[in-house]
Every structure is written in structure tokens, then in C-alpha cells.
């Protein structure tokens, strides 16, 4: 159940099939409690692995593997971070893809962040 202390931050990875990073900046401090991804089309040849970092430190338990087998537009995957998931106001979250798949595919990432307080 969401509380009034939760807010949602959305970022975009232009294509998960090319290794690289994208960033989104937190407007308020808090703890990332859930990460969701949604792809825009099917990927092929291999799975795409996504990871997330705050200040160069990996968010523990926050990795997501997007499976290519049976993938389709609108597929949702999620992770529940367990450590190194505190963010401060104005701090960027890095969204990293290993580029393991082929077929260009945009991915929306939603972070559920709980204000601590």
C-alpha cells in the first residue's frame, strides 16, 4: 500500500540494446522501495540486464533482467531494493544497461521513493 510519503520518479533509457547509462534526478530525499521497468517493443537474441547506482554505488537488490524470450511491448519487470537505496534531494540515479539484447528498445523506469521522516 502506498502512503502520502511515497513519490514516483520516472526516467527513460533510450535503448536497452546498447550498453550505456542514463540519469534521472531525485527531487526529494528518501529510500527507493521499488523499481519498475516497461519496454516499448520486443527484444531479441539475449536478455538485457539493468542495474542502478546512486553516487557510483550499486543499489543492492535493484537489478532487473528483461528476458528476450516472449518479450513484447508493455512487458513490466520489477525489483525491490534491499540496500544502498537512500537518495538525497538533487542526487542523480544512474540507470545502466549492459546492452546484451538486440533490437532497439526504449524502456521506461519508475522508481517508487518513500520520503523518510
Q: What is the mean pLDDT of residues 63-74?
A: 96
Share of the chain above pLDDT 70, in %: 98
Torsion of CA 114, 57, 110, 99, to 10 degrees: -170
What per-residue confidence (pLDDT) applies to 29?
Answer: 97
| Residues 27-67: tens digit of each pLDDT | 999 999 999 999 999 999 999 999 999 999 999 999 999 99
Centre a 10 Å sphere on the Cβ of residue 38 and count the other Cβ atoms it contains: 17
Distance of alpha carbon 34 from alpha carbon 77, whole angstroms: 11
pLDDT at residue number 3:
78
Threshold 0.85, pTM exceeds: yes
> Per mean pLDDT, which range of 20-24, 59-63, 113-117 is the poorest?
113-117
pLDDT, residue 2, reads: 79
pLDDT at 77: 98
Averaged pLDDT, 71-82: 97
Q: What does the block give as the cell for 82? A: 534491499
Amino acid at each position: 500500500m502506498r502512503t502520502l510519503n511515497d513519490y514516483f520518479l520516472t526516467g527513460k533509457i533510450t535503448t536497452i540494446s546498447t550498453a550505456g547509462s542514463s540519469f534521472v534526478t531525485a527531487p526529494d530525499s528518501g529510500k527507493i522501495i521499488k523499481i519498475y521497468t516497461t519496454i516499448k517493443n520486443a527484444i531479441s537474441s539475449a536478455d538485457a540486464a539493468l542495474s542502478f547506482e546512486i553516487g557510483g554505488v550499486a543499489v543492492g537488490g535493484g537489478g532487473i533482467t528483461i528476458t528476450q524470450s516472449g518479450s513484447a511491448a508493455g512487458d513490466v519487470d520489477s525489483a525491490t531494493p534491499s540496500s544502498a537505496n537512500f537518495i538525497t534531494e538533487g542526487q542523480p540515479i544512474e540507470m545502466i544497461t549492459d546492452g546484451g539484447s538486440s533490437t532497439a528498445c526504449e524502456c521506461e523506469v519508475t522508481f517508487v521513493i518513500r520520503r523518510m521522516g
